[in-house]
Amino acid sequence: MTSTWEELREPPSTWERWKATLRKQPSAMLLGVQILVILLLPFLQDLDWGRAVISLLSLSAVSIAVFTVRSTPALTWLSATLALPAAGFEVWSLFVDAGTVLILAHAALAVFYFYTAYALISYMFEDSWVTKDELFAVGAAFTVLLFAFAYVFLLIQEIWPSSFTSVDGPGRRTFLELLYFSGANLTSVGLSDVGPVRPQARAVVTVEQLGGVLYVAMVISRLVALTVIRARQ
């Protein structure tokens, strides 16, 4: 039987409160880590050890994502199967500057993030009640898709160099540039100085633009409708 904080004989420790919050609202923790990675990217990407820090933060987000997926109808073993190679290739790419390793790392992370986004969306569509964690899952799933397409863009430019252009012309774009470009596409605001120039890049960008529109139409509108229905009952 679960007790409230007030019913406990001794007040819970800070660590116990954090564990309870993570257990009840894993989507909020995932959303927080994803936003932290985005905010730290400008300060770390140009440093010698910045890539290592970014990779470790990314792995932290992956670990939290695994925990989040366990709280959804998606299969836990499949989540772990996708997460382990993604983490392994990401660490490997820190020590080996080989194109093949980078391709495998970006591909594995993209697949895992897409699967996590699917699991979060399934979680939101599981029942007819809107919980606080499901509201956080709306933002978490959106940021997961943001990172997933950014890794796909990194993969594309590794296979087809100069797939994206910017104010300085076609060339190799940084992760932050492609993440920013991914956000502009997914939100349909179109405010980005980065653009696709090769056919493969343009095809994937078109898919992301369609996905952003469908996400707002299907996911957010459904949760808003359920929230209004619950408020009227």
Confirm whether pTM is higher than 0.95.
no
Going from N- to C-terminal start, the domains of the chain cover: 24-232
Give me the pLDDT at residue 233, please: 62
| Residue given tokens 């993209």 in the structure block | 110
In contact, 66 and 30? CB cutoff 8 Å: no
Helix (H, G, I), strand (E, B) or coil at 82: helix
pLDDT in tens, 102-147: 899 889 989 988 998 888 888 888 767 777 777 888 888 899 999 9
Give CA separation, 227 vs 76, 115, 122, 166, 216, in Å: 29, 26, 17, 42, 16
